[in-house]
Each structure stands twice: as C-alpha cells, then as structure tokens.
Structure 1
Amino acid sequence: MPSNMQPLLQGRTRTEPIINVQQAGGDSPQPKMRRRVSSAAHDNTPLPLPSRWSPLLPSLGLWATLQKLAVLTANLQWWMGFPGKWLWQFVRLVAFVLLMLPGFIPPFITYMWSAQIKKNIPYGPSFRHQLDIYLPAASSSPKNRRAPVVIFISGGAWIIGYKAWGFIMGQLFQQYGVLFIAPDYRNFPEASVGSMVEDVIMALGWIFENLDELGGDLANITLMGQSAGAHLSALALLEQAAREAGRKEGLTWSVQDLVRWVGISGPYDAIDMLPTMRNRGLPTSVIMALMDHDLARFSPTRRVRDLTIADPSGVLGLLPAAHLFHGTADETVHWQQSEAFAQAR
C-alpha cells in the first residue's frame, strides 16, 4: 500500500484511537452497546481454545477436503475461462509474493508456531467458517486490563480471500496489546457476495458471544476490512443495521456494539467498478453471478446514498463511526471509490 494514504472522513466522524495511551491509569470509555459488559478482571492467560495447526475440519477429513477443493477449482476455472486476463494477474501476484518472500517468511513462521495465535477456530458449519485469534502479547498488555479489539476481514477479490492474509497486521496489533481476530469466509464460486456477507455476520456473532472470555474490551471494538473485505464488512453493517432497525428477532449482535468501522481501499460501488474489474480479468458473467445479478444492492455507496434520501427506520443512525483510508496510487481499486463513499452520507 502506498505511503500517501489519507483519511477521507476527517471532521465528520469520531476519531478516538483504538489504543489510547492516556487511559493507562483510567477507565475504558463507556460502551454504547446494549449488552452487559463484564467487569471481571482478565489475567491475559491464553485460553484453552480448540486451536489447530491444520485448517482441515476433523469431521471432513483430508480426502473429502481435497475433493471439495478440486471441485471448487474446476468450477472457478469454468467461470473464469482459460486462458484469460486473470491468468496474467495471477502471474503478477505470484511474482510479487516471490519478491517479498524474504520479508514474509519470518512473520509467517511466527504465525504458524506461536502459542499466542490460536488458529482455525470454527464459528460455523463450513470448512471456511474458521477464524484466527491473535492474543495480545503479555509484555504489551497491562495485567488485569481488557484488550482493545480489532476484527479484520481480509480481501482477495472475493475469490482468493483468506484469513491468513492478515498475519503480519495481526502480529503488529498483537505487539501493541490489541486482541486481533481474523475470520475467514467462503469465496466464489462456492458463495456469492450475499452469502459472504452472511458469513461475516455469523463470524461477528460468534466473536461477540465469546469476546468476554477472550479478555476483549467490549467498549472498544473495531471492525476493519481491506479491499473486498472492506466491501463485505460495510455490507454486513448495513444489513445488520437494517435488521436491527426492523426489530428482527434472533439477532446475536448489534452494530451499536462497535465503536468504529475502518475501511481500507474498498470497492464500494460495484457498478462504477465494472470496467476496472473487467480489465483485471473478471468476466462480466462472473461479476454478475458474484453480485447475485444485483449490483446496486451490493454497492454500499448506493445503499447509503438511498438511505440519505429515505431512511424511515433510522438505519444510518445505528451505524458506528466510519474511517476510510485509500492509497492514491492504487490501480486495483481507484481511490475515488472511497471518496464517493465518504460523500454518500
């Protein structure tokens, strides 16, 4: 990501930091959520979570998993066509990874073997319904103090997204005493964007149900997404807020439980993104299937813009503070996507 990133919502939302060094001797900010906040002390001891080195579900097994992956790969190949523009983009991605490998290897080894990183915790029935939990480093987290929470939804063009893509970011937050949680979600063609959004909502439900035991500060929770993850997390908030405003029963968490949402380099308008996605190798048939043939519905910018015209249920009033960041040299998702989203509200 280019170094010339800049926030686009300055002065229009709250700007309280995730980590406030001035609170070292005071209390956490008062929560605005409706759920009860535990006052029990937390000793930062790693919990006996069912962490597994392998992402394979024991109930599925190796052979069944390989068969499933082979079918999904064949389906994706059919959708994308061969050869195609996507192949060149894939080659560029592999070349980038190889170039950066010396820098990737040390933190990846830590990711694989650290006892402070609990991997492949299931939150739902699919083998992609798993998440990683980066417990705060004991040296950086004051004893008996609950940790700020960052929930990170990774990107990957809705096709190659994976929770482990945040392994460097997770370790950095971990060093600063933050409880960092990275949920996975199903990718295309196993799921469309609508189902991916439901995966994010389900993951957040599991996280909120278990956050107290994980030692997270329920009054300082940040939802963060990058690229496709920013798009999915924004849609998840809008969907959950609409359900909450409509007083739908059975909701396991509230958007008001979040202090802030951070979107990094997100594609927030699928209609405006069409030419770029085509140039990047995504056929129109894939884009339409990915978006359930309803580009406007899965465009956060257009949904927010419509709500500013008519919002009888008060959906926008439920949303947390939003903070958008985008590199102006980004050629995959142009920075104007974030600017338009910032101006929509």
Structure 2
Amino acid sequence: MPTSTPRAARGPLRRGLLATALMLLGGTLLTGCQAVLFGSLNTATSKAGVVVQRGMVFDPAHQLALDIYRPSDASHAPVVVFFYGGSWKSGKRSWYAWVGETLARRGLVVVIPDYRLWPKVRLDGFMQDAAHAVAWTHAHADEYGGNPDDLFVMGHSAGAHIGALLATDAHWLNEVGMQPRQLAGFIGLAGPYDFLPLKDPDFIDMFGATHAAQLRSQPVHFVNGDEPPMLLMQGTTDKIVWPRNTESLARALRQENEPVEVKLYPDIGHFAILFSISKPLRDKAPVIQDVVQFIHAHRRAESMAVPAETSAP
C-alpha cells in the first residue's frame, strides 16, 4: 500500500478489501468478526462528508434491504445502483461499503442492495429482486438528494450480469412498472454477458438445463436497440470472465446503433478491476475516473462539472 495513504484510513480500507476478496473467492468470513469488520446495520452515520443510511427495506416479503451512500450536500445528484458479484452464490451489501463511500465522495448517490442467492433462488429470483431494488431507488431517490432521471445501474462480475440483463431484457423492469430506457446508463465491470454453453452443474441448475432456457440468462441475446448507453469495462488478463463477453455485448449494441463505450485495462484481472476503485490501487486502472466521466456525460438533467473527490476513504 502506498506510503502516502493516511494511516487512519489504512485499517478500514484493508479490512474492506480483504473481506471482499475473501468473500468473492468463496470464503466464509461470516463469523463473530463480522461485527468488527462491518459494524451495525440499520443505522445512519455521517463520515467525511458522506452520509450512510443502512438497512432500508425495499422488499419486506423477502426481508431484503439496501444501503445508501450520499454526499452530505447531495441535491439532484446522479444515482447509482451497484450490484455486487459472487457467482450469484455469495455476497452481502455490507462488504461493499467502500465502493459506496468512494463513489459518494465523487458526488453520487449510491444504492447497494442485497438480492437472494442460489440455491435459494435461481435466475427469476435474483432478477426480480434486482428489478425491485431499482424500482425502489427510482421512487425514493429524491428523498436522499438524488435525481431519479439520472439513474444508473452498475455491477461487477455476476452483478454486472444482473445489471446488463435489466438493461437489455425489458421483461424484468416491466414487471415493476419501468423500462430499460428509463435508466440513464449501465456500467459493467468484468461482466459475463455471453457465456453459453454452460458446463458447471451449479450454473445449469441456476439458469436451466436446455439451450432455450439458458438463453434467458444472456444479456447479448436481448439487445434490440432499446437499451440505455453502456460503459463496459474489462481487464485484459481476466481468467474468470473472459474479455470476449464484453466484446460480444459491445458488438451487438453497435449493430443496433446503441451508444457503448469499451474500456480495456492491460494487465488487470477479475478482482483488480474492482479493487482499482479504491484510492490505494487506483493507479492500476483509471476505473473510477472512467465511471464518473461516463455518468456525467450521460446525465439527463442539466450537466454539471465532475466533482473532485472530497476526501480519501
């Protein structure tokens, strides 16, 4: 870690990155240490210009909640719903607090929801949860200083897949009274968008045993010219989600004359692209700068200058 990082910031950041890495790799960190790492939920806190509202329930029937990170002076700010990865099998919103705080320091209102995971649910379950989280955010964004007309969906890995499917297959948002075009944009980090055929038994159970069933899980299959602008970000050395996924989705969008930007980062792997959002690893790839520039380039409200980061996480 660079020596320029403030000592007070090193502990929380190390814990956040370590916890996320272990969880993404399938670890089981949910022990008595969880409270030390992540703190209490269902509380509102303010720190270094960022207000955090935890445990906002968006789906009482399934006991699903989300956390909101926003600048203390947020007013008509762009809104980002961030879906975490974990092979659709693992993850918790609290593991990604550092993502929410980092983006909030760049002037964004950030919503990080939980969604049900396999094997409790399959494709329909976690996609319905994601759609409900986006609809809740659209309905309540202005209460937290956000502009619902500037609503972006963002995700990493499996979370990028979920976000991309919301942006391409209108079925999911239609179920909650919305349309993909109501999204100001989609931002995908290392997302699987075109990953057939399936061989892993877990994924076959998750997405279906037949080719026709599995096609429902492929964002590239639904591109029809009615998508929001997209920013597709990919590390060239990713061996978990191959770069061809990004290339395939970008090609499909271009064939429909849809606006899409592709950012390929040399020598960046599957987890490094996510961790490069954090300040100590930001020199690895300009992910945070590219995200913020894309958001402000595609705002539907009156444009505003891209704010500088208010303080280091």
| TM-score normalised by structure 1 residue count | 0.57
1:213 aligns with 2:143: yes
The residue identity in structure 2 corresponding to 1:206 is W
- The verdict on how the C-alpha distance between 1:93 and 1:186 changes in structure 2, with shifts beyond 3 A counting, is closer
Distance 1:130 1:205 in 2: 13
1:260 and 2:171 aligned = no
Task: Evaluate the alpha carbon distance shift between residue 330 and residue 165 of structure 1 in structure 2; reply closer, same or farther with a 3 A threshold.
Answer: farther
- Tell me how far apart the structure 2 counterparts of residues 219 and 203 of structure 1 sit (CA, whole Å): 16
> Is contact 1:118–1:132 with CA below 8 Å preserved after alignment?
yes
Q: Does 1:324 align with 2:259?
A: no
1:213–1:114 distance in 2 versus 1, CA, 3 Å: closer
Structure 1 residue identity aligned to 2:136: W
Please list, as runs of the form range in 1=range in 2, the aligned pairs for 1:53-64 lying within 5 A after superposition.
none
Preserved contact between residue 131 and residue 183 of structure 1 (Cα < 8 Å): yes
Which residue number corresponds to residue 65 of structure 2?
Answer: 130
The aligned counterpart of 2:277 is: none
**Deviation sequence 1:8-32 (CA, Å, 0-9, x none):** xxxxxxxxxxxxxxxxxxxxxxxxx
CA distance in 2, matches of 1:259, 1:238: 13
**Counterpart check, 1:154 vs 2:84:** yes
- Out of 123, 127, 136, the residue aligned to residue 193 of structure 1 is 123
Who is 1:302 aligned against?
A: 221
Q: Which segments of structure 1 move beyond 6 Å, counting only runs of 4 or more? A: 110-113
- Cα offset, 1:238, TM superposition: 2.7
> Partners in 2 of 1:136 and 1:90 — Cα distance?
28
Aligned-partner Cα distance in 2 for 1:152–1:259: 14
- Give the corresponding residue for 1:18: none
TM-score, normalised with respect to structure 2? 0.62
- Larger radius of gyration, structure 1 or 2? 1
Equivalent in 36, 41, 55 of residue 120 of structure 1: 55
Q: Tell me the distance in 1 between the aligned counterparts of 2:24 and 2:189.
A: 24
- 1:51-90 alignment runs, 5 A limit: none
Spell out the pairing of 1:1-345 with structure 2 (5 A cutoff): 94=27, 108=38, 114-115=45-46, 116-138=51-73, 141=74, 145-239=75-169, 241-242=170-171, 251-272=176-197, 274=198, 278=200, 284=201, 286-293=202-209, 294-304=213-223, 307=224, 316-317=225-226, 319-345=227-253
- CA apart distance, 1:125: 2.9
Larger RCO (alpha carbons 8 Å, 6+ apart): 1
2:141 corresponds to which letter in structure 1? L
Q: Secondary structure at the match of 1:295?
A: helix
Given that residues 150 and 180 in structure 1 are in contact (C-alpha distance below 8 angstroms), is that contact kept between their aligned partners in structure 2?
A: yes
Higher share in strand:
2
Q: CA deviation at 1:90?
A: 7.9
Q: What is the identity, as a one-letter code, of the residue corresponding to 1:295?
A: Q
Change (3 A) 1:119 1:290: same
SS in 2 for 1:271: coil
Q: Per the alignment, do residues 214 and 252 of structure 1 end up closer, same or farther by CA in structure 2, a change over 3 Å counting?
A: farther
Query: 2:67 is paired with a residue of what secondary structure?
Result: strand
Structure 1 pair 194/107, CA: closer, same or farther in 2 (3 Å)? same
1:298 deviation in Å?
0.8
